[in-house]
Structure 1
């Protein structure tokens, strides 16, 4: 199945009442590990990349890489821009063929966040792709950007923000933290209040490190997209490191990278099952 538009993926998610993981890639090995798991699970998903990781390959190469694999899949997948920190990121992703984009203007004050988000939405409309934005501020480290402060999403701002920006997905700050969250503290009461007033689907960032028993509740709170990045990168790097420690003279790059691909697949497959409260099945 070819890569599909984000609006179409959201419709499939809604019809099936599932929660789609959004898994961050950087290179070919990570991409293949992610999509291996998605295809085995048969649960629709986003595969995404942030501009800081685009530096390794460029928008066009990432699109071609993901599309080439997705063309052979039966499970629907959308390629998504994660954390577009400036308008040009959104432009580049749309022009490269991405199926959805995130414009991240949480670093601005409220009115400026609205203005920048609205600009991105109006541009993306020309390409027919949905736009995700963030309201509040999620603490932690997202690639090279570190936000030391956590600002919870204010439910009283949600209606106004969505109406004035026209945004299609809303990433919320409810105790989630970017990076490996060693002290998760999801405020489900706040999440419920946001769900009750928000007219667009919700997104949870920073799922790495949040306990499974909290992740598998999200589908009941209007969350349709859950971002996972740090867990995948850690599995990739640790697998490579362990291979090296076992044999420091090894030069068999193919099997080392196949080990890393499998490690990424195992993490993604586990996350998919947890998000959707599915019975564990062995990774093939």
Structure 2
């Protein structure tokens, strides 16, 4: 992942990090990447593993990435335990995120350092989070947004050695109840304080214009989960509303296409080229 983010930095664009929960999502995301000839990240969050077990998802994700026609990183999103981080690394994930954002600042530093130490042994890229991104990855909680403190971010990156930093600037997981108001002044200040790529979580629902503005302010990885899950579900619903006899294979294709179209649209925006 580190290589993809550094290349994106040179080209002033962001790499899409697309959450997946089944085979159709993996296929749809990678077909979109190949059609757009653009590197991507496919990822799964620890909280999703009760629905999509790592032992099932990881081998599929890793092998699909290896066989893709474009560079693909495989990432553990919102890792909450060293046990799961180590399992993901063992399966061949190329990057992991340790999310200690709910911990006190000093504890977040110490726990993140442990994760970086383990990952570095296997040359695995690390991501961490500082501040509080609203909502929660699985919708089970509604965390109140707490902006990332730029001075804390500077110290956090220096002491932990993380390769990428997820920031909170008004972004939130899940569906936004109202149009999100991102604080670009905070984002710009953070950018000037740290020398690692910045990550935007809670991308589903942010406008194309704000995505482009985030990219111009140093965001190099943008996470998309809810929009892809919603696109897959809607595409399946539309197929099942048709009167023709239904079968799994046509349903499979419908789900793939829903994800493919959403991911293609995101990649177009994140590449930071062309009109929107």
TM over 0.5: yes
Contact 1:24 1:227 in 2 (8 A): yes
Q: Which residue of 2 aligns with 1:66?
A: 61
Q: Which residue of 1 aligns with 2:152?
A: 157
Q: Which residue of 1 aligns with 2:193?
A: 197
Contact 1:137 1:151 in 2 (8 A): yes
SS in 1 for 2:42: strand
CA deviations over 1:161-193 (Å, ceiling 9, x no partner): 111111110000001111122331111111000
CA deviations over 1:224-264 (Å, ceiling 9, x no partner): 100000000001111112222334x8431111120111111
**Pick aligned residue for 2:45 from 46, 50, 57:** 50
Number of matched residues?
Answer: 275
**Pick aligned residue for 2:225 from 226, 229, 237:** 229
- Between the aligned partners of 1:147 and 1:165, the Cα distance in structure 2 is 27
Normalising by structure 1, we get a TM-score of 0.91
**Pick aligned residue for 1:111 from 102, 106, 110:** 106
Q: Which residue of 1 aligns with 2:253?
A: 258
Contact 1:118 1:166 in 2 (8 A): yes
- Between the aligned partners of 1:272 and 1:38, the Cα distance in structure 2 is 8
RMSD of Structure 2 on Structure 1 (CA)? 1.8
Distance 1:169 1:145, change over 3 A: farther
Structure 2 matches for 1:1-284, cutoff 5 A?
6-181=1-176, 182-247=178-243, 250-279=245-274
- Between the aligned partners of 2:68 and 2:170, the Cα distance in structure 1 is 35
Contact 1:141 1:147 in 2 (8 A): yes
Q: For residue 51 of structure 1, report the CA deviation from its aligned partner.
A: 1.6
- Between the aligned partners of 1:151 and 1:200, the Cα distance in structure 2 is 21
> Which portions of structure 1, spanning 4 or more consecutive aligned residues, are displaced by more than 4 angstroms?
none
* Consecutive unaligned residues in structure 2, runs of 5 or more: none
- Between the aligned partners of 1:92 and 1:213, the Cα distance in structure 2 is 38
Q: For residue 219 of structure 1, report the CA deviation from its aligned partner.
A: 2.1
- Between the aligned partners of 1:7 and 1:210, the Cα distance in structure 2 is 24
- Between the aligned partners of 1:72 and 1:117, the Cα distance in structure 2 is 32
Q: For residue 57 of structure 1, report the CA deviation from its aligned partner.
A: 4.4
Normalising by structure 2, we get a TM-score of 0.94
**Mean Cα displacement is larger for which, 60-69 or 118-127?**
60-69
